[in-house]
A and B are shown apart, each in its own frame.
Chain A
Amino acid sequence: DAMVIQNPRYQVTQFGKPVTLSCSQTLNHNVMYWYQQKSSQAPKLLFHYYDKDFNNEADTPDNFQSRRPNTSFCFLDIRSPGLGDAAMYLCATSPRDRGREQYFGPGTRLTVT
């Protein structure tokens, strides 16, 4: 039944060590989003894919990259995590044409030591 799946749910990485978070969806939605959510704050959009078209938010640091090899999967790569990158990372999807809402995954909580 799971529609948007994120793995792992908890990730610990070391300062400066690259890390990849993954998201998969069974909804066949065109659009996939990555959000960063720090404690007690609103989710902040990092970037999104419209099919294969990548759209980066203007204030997303270069340290954050993304890949979408196919419709179902999307990855968030943090090239050199800093302590300030510790957060919950949320993946969401929506269909293009009739999309009223975004469907969120459960999130991956990233800790940077």
Chain B
Amino acid sequence: GEDVEQSLFLSVREGDSSVINCTYTDSSSTYLYWYKQEPGAGLQLLTYIFSNMDMKQDQRLTVLLNKKDKHLSLRIADTQTGDSAIYFCAERTQNNAGNMLTFGGGTRLMVKP
């Protein structure tokens, strides 16, 4: 079955880099995503990576995918206090009913000034 796991917490100082890790089990995943959720808000898509890529960079965000180990990471460079939020990784699986996401439990990122 599908299972996506993340560590619960990460604390960094402002200006440092943050690395949030995720492991998944479904080798047929086509896309993997990172979503950000601020308190009391919905999920905001940050970035995604197609499964045939091993890296994607988007401004301060770098996504690394190790498909062999089924490991995904999100690196945030120059972390700011506004980056404090919960980060969810998700894998996409597809069936006849459409585009399904399986979410990890979320990593709470705390950025200290």
Contacts and interface: CB of A to CB of B under 8 A. Distances in A.
Interface of A: 4, 6, 30-31, 40-43, 45, 48, 50, 53, 55, 88, 90, 92, 94, 96, 99-107, 109
Contact of A42 (B44, B45, B103): B103
Interface of B: 4, 31, 33, 35, 40-45, 48, 86, 88, 92, 97-101, 103-106, 108
A53 B31 contact: no
A101 B48 contact: yes
Given A43-B43, A104-B43, A99 B105 contact: no
Given A50-B98, A94-B99, A99-B99, A42 B43 contact: no
B43 A90 contact: yes
A92 B33 CA distance: 15
27 contacts: A31-B98, A31-B99, A41-B106, A42-B4, A42-B103, A43-B43, A43-B88, A45-B100, A45-B101, A48-B98, A55-B97, A55-B98, A90-B43, A94-B98, A94-B99, A96-B98, A96-B99, A99-B98, A100-B48, A100-B92, A101-B48, A102-B45, A104-B42, A104-B44, A105-B42, A106-B41, A106-B42
Nearest to A101: B45
Given A99-B98, A101-B33, A41 B105 contact: yes
Nearest to B4: A42
**Most A Cβ at <10 Å: residue of B31, B35, B42, B104:** B42
